[in-house]
């Protein structure tokens, strides 16, 4: 058994986008921390890619925005269409500046940048190839045990924070109940060479057979997301291409693809985001529908609030962190409701003309600005600031 570090304020399990961001926020607020991550390198594919203005404003506060702007792509307009005609537009450029856009940045790039920024603050903060085993909690501290190769190591800290995803081992070890449901909605998505004329615009098609979304990516690629009737267990390029061709008449067959996967939709939330000296953030605390791209950003907002809560008290105690749990659960519920509305709009419709009429009416009325605010995660009461 090896003691990896002396007693420090915080240990974070999980070095994905939320865990890395949280570590940066803590260090910027003068709180030392360690991040335990089982992977040696960042994820290799694009996965989550939309960075919303509310998150970019937090990046500004931390001084880490520039590399994201250098490598990401700004989306300032979204276009809604049926299979054959345009219904309307949403202009994110009408939203508050300076970040009047959604930034498309593959998760592989996001994690690499966050790792680089973390190492600038503390080159030893990220412990890779380290797998969480268990923890022991006392009145004043938490001891976290993890493995590296054949060796078991331990770190003592004031708080342990689980940022280790929807199947969080930290949450399970804490016996925090995780409840929710799975929706019948299923999708296939992939990144293909962009052969559209949309340029830097996002497009959402609402044909009668179900939603198709496409978003621009850096380096001339485009993300396609297609609603399917059933879960496709073995997705291949040809399946996604056939859906796109059949529903909207656009041909992407034979073009280069760099990522392809199927996914279902679920909404789960932890009973509490704080229990004793153990806290949860990101998907470990809440899982929302990926339609609308708000899950990763919601995790960042919660991590920001958590860092502020820990730094505001000279000697933070578990009771003081219950406010974080209560507030963030309310915001997570609001984001989940928005995501569910987005998902329902994309379902196949028995009366497509009514849905088209409704969407067209909204996008040609003063309500259009409200839609832009919703899609960019505004109106969450700015509780994280």
Q: What is the dihedral of CA 259, 114, 49, 41, to 10 degrees?
A: 10
Across-strand partners of 202? Answer: 78
Domain positions in the chain are 2-76+104-180+266-348
CATH class assigned to 2-76+104-180+266-348 = alpha beta
Q: What share of the chain is helix, strand, coil (3-state, %, to 5)?
A: 35, 30, 35
pLDDT, tens only, 327-336: 888 888 877 7
Q: How far is CA 197 from CA 106, 200, 240, 303, 354, in A?
A: 21, 9, 19, 38, 28
What pLDDT score does 204 carry? 92
Average pLDDT over residues 298-321: 83
pLDDT, tens only, 240-283: 999 999 999 999 999 999 999 999 999 999 999 999 999 999 99
What pLDDT score does 144 carry? 98
Strands ordered across the beta sheet of 202-205: 86-91, 77-81, 202-205, 212-217, 221-228, 178-193, 257-270, 286-287
pLDDT, tens only, 153-206: 999 999 999 999 999 999 999 999 999 999 899 999 999 999 999 999 999 998
Bigger pLDDT: 26 vs 140:
26
Residues 6+ apart with CB under 8 A from 174: 162, 275, 276, 278
Read off the pLDDT band of 357 (50, 70, 90): very low
The reported pTM is 0.90
What pLDDT score does 180 carry? 92
According to DSSP, the β-strands at 33-36 and 2-13 are: parallel
Bigger pLDDT: 167 vs 319:
167
What pLDDT score does 17 carry? 97
pLDDT, tens only, 213-233: 999 999 999 999 999 999 999
Distance CA 363, CA 367 (A): 7
Distance CA 208, CA 258 (A): 28
What pLDDT score does 5 carry? 52
Pick from 3-7, 145-149, 356-360: least confident: 356-360
What pLDDT score does 342 carry? 63
Q: Does position 355 have pLDDT exceeding 50, yes or no?
A: no
> Rounded mean pLDDT of the chain?
87
Q: How far is CA 172 from CA 16, 321, 364, in A?
A: 19, 20, 48
Report whether 182 contacts 340 (CB < 8 A).
no
Distance CA 48, CA 290 (A): 8
Counting every residue written for the chain, the total comes to 385
Q: What would the two tokens of residue 192 be?
A: 């293909």
Average pLDDT over residues 35-60: 93
Average pLDDT over residues 79-88: 87
What pLDDT score does 218 carry? 96
Helices and strands per DSSP (H, E), number in the chain = 10, 19
């Amino acid at each position: 058994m090896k003691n990896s570090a002396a007693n420090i304020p915080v240990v974070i399990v999980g070095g994905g986008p939320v865990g890395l961001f949280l570590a940066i926020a803590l260090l910027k607020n003068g709180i030392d921390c360690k991040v335990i991550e089982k992977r040696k390198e960042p994820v290799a594919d694009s996965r989550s890619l939309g960075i919303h203005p509310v998150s970019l404003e937090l990046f500004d506060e931390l001084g880490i925005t520039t590399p994201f702007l250098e490598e990401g792509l700004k989306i300032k307009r979204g276009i809604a269409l049926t299979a054959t005609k345009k219904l309307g537009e949403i202009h994110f450029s009408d939203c508050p500046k300076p970040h009047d856009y959604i930034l498309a940045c593959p998760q592989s790039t996001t994690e690499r940048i966050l790792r680089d920024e973390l190492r600038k603050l503390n080159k030893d903060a990220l412990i890779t190839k380290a797998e969480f085993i268990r923890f022991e909690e006392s009145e004043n501290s938490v001891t976290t045990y993890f493995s590296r190769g054949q060796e078991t190591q331990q770190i003592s800290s004031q708080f342990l924070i689980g940022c280790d995803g929807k199947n969080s081992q930290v949450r399970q070890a804490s016996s925090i109940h995780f409840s929710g449901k799975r929706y019948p909605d299923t999708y296939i998505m992939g990144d293909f060479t962009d052969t559209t004329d949309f340029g830097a615009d996002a497009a959402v098609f609402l044909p009668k057979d179900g939603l198709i979304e496409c978003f621009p990516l850096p380096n001339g690629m485009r993300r396609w997301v297609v609603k399917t009737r059933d879960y496709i267990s073995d997705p291949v390029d040809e399946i996604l291409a056939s859906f796109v061709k059949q529903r909207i008449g656009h041909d992407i067959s034979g073009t280069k693809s760099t990522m392809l996967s199927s996914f279902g939709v679920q909404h789960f939330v932890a009973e509490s985001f704080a229990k004793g000296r153990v806290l949860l953030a990101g998907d470990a605390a809440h899982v929302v529908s990926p339609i609308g791209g708000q899950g990763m950003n919601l995790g960042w907002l919660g991590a920001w609030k958590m860092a502020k809560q820990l730094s505001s008290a000279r000697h933070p105690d578990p009771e003081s962190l219950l406010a974080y749990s209560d507030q963030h659960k309310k915001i997570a519920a609001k984001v989940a409701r928005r995501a569910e509305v987005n998902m329902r709009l994309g379902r196949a419709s028995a009366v497509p003309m009514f849905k088209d009429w409704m969407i067209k009416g909204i996008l040609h009325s003063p309500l259009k600005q409200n839609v832009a605010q919703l899609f960019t995660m505004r109106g969450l009461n700015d509780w994280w600031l």
